[in-house]
Amino acid sequence: MKKRQLGTGNLEVSALGLGCMGMSFGLGPPADTQEMISLIRTAVDRGVTLFDTAEVYGPFTNEALVGEALAPVRDRVVIATKFGFDYDEDGKQRPGRLNSRPESIRAMVDASLRRLGTETIDLLYQHRVDPNVPIEDVAGTVKELVQQGKVQHFGLSEAGVKTIRRAHAVLPVAALQSEYSIWWREPEDEILATLEELGIGFVPFSPLGRGFLTGTIDETTNFASSDFRNTVPRFSPENRKANQAVVDLVARIAAAKKATPAQVALAWLLAQKPWIVPIPGTTKLQRLDENLGAAKLELSTDDLKEIDAASARITIHGARYSEGGQRLIDR
């Protein structure tokens, strides 16, 4: 597995990481713990070094899973986790509420360290920008945690350009994690140029369009009751049908390259910038191997031009979050 650099602070990771959220949360019932531990360790054997989790995944259970799985190989991997949502006294998430107050960040990091079973968090993201806490205070708090050795690198998620610049002025931002894929290209408007200027890496989540770009989902697909895609306008049956055009595009390129649609979607992201590290998630070994195969797939200049020209003619239908989720996006 080739390596890529995130930021300017010597944070080197595999070209493809592994998003671990769906193992515990968000995409239906949690998967079997021992099977997921085995999958994560297999990913390490395949050369993956970046593993992504967050305290809110569960909440809390995904961090414990990732920590247990990576304990035997802790010195070979980079663990990324996130803080920033709010919880009640019983540890239940308060929907739509954020909390990046300095004292909360410190407590959240200590709790994450315990669940992960580690002495330091390699990459700590603010999960969503908290409009009630100046980003300078957030970055300053993380800077103190870096000085204490509890955190190695600072990241942001779904942050806008102004916030990125303000945070970076206090503490260098190693990576921005936001959605980016062939069917969500908004980061190309301003974000990518800003990241390149500042020397910040980009970690796209949902690089496979939450599974849609794999070609295994259509308007007849039924999601589990606990699958958050049920709440996403883009995944309504009528919008899935309307958005089939982008899947057909990826499938056409895949057939020509003797690859799978997922591999083309990931290879497309890898070809955009040398500091982009997608984190596709999966609970299945065959999908892990399929996704990692994208790192060996070379898309030619003509392939990329064809994808760009064809996708420019496609209108994507439906918002990528529910109304409540949209309110948490920083602009």
What local confidence, expressed as pLDDT, does residue 89 receive? 87
Burial class (CB in 10 A: 0-12, 13-18, 19+), 12: exposed
Distance CA 259, CA 252 (A): 10
Q: Where are the domains of the chain?
A: 3-326
**Class of domain 3-326 (CATH, top level):** alpha beta
Instruction: Judge if pTM exceeds 0.95.
Output: yes
What local confidence, expressed as pLDDT, does residue 331 receive? 82
- DSSP-derived letter for residue 36 is H
Regions of the chain short of the pLDDT cut 50: none
Residue 57 annotated in active site: yes
Residue 63: what residue type? E
Instruction: Please check whether residue 8 is in contact with residue 199, taking contact to mean a CB–CB distance below 8 angstroms.
Output: yes
